[in-house]
Amino acid sequence: MKSGSCHCGAVRFTVEGEIEQAMECNCSHCSRKGFLLWFVPRASLSIVSGADKLTTYTFNKHVIQHQFCMVCGCQPFGLGNMPDGTETAAINLRCLEDVAIESIPRVQVNGRDF
């Protein structure tokens, strides 16, 4: 199990699973924020504290609920559905504790064309 938080710590979460790769998307949102994303089944993500401090941002097709902390503005994860309808969470690897992101293989995704 991995633990993470927003910058100020108001939102804390845990996530189950093994990180095999990070998605590095070039869409206007991800590239501006420098996200490295790890996709997991939604049930693998647990909000430990601060759910009441989360607010949602959507753009483009409004299918991903980008969750961010109302206090510090940090976005630790987003929620959405895979094309087959499976609920998923996109974890911002930069918000996880004790994870060496430099050693995780990165997959480039052309999100500009989504």
| Structural domains counted in the chain | 1
How much is the average pLDDT of 18-33? 92
Predicted pLDDT of residue 112: 82
How much is the average pLDDT of 31-57? 96
Query: What domain range includes position 33?
Result: 2-109
* Domain at 75, CATH number: 2.170.150.70
pLDDT digits (tens, 9 = 90+) for 76-108: 999 999 889 999 999 999 999 999 999 999 999
Are 39 and 23 a contacting pair, CB within 8 Å? yes
pLDDT cut 70: percent of the chain above it: 100
Helix (H, G, I), strand (E, B) or coil at 95: helix
Is position 114 within any domain? no
Average pLDDT of the chain is: 94
Are 110 and 28 a contacting pair, CB within 8 Å? no
Output b/e per residue, 32-46; b: 16+ Cβ within 10 A. Answer: eeebbbbbbeeebbe
pLDDT for residue 18 is more than 90: yes
Is position 31 within any domain? yes
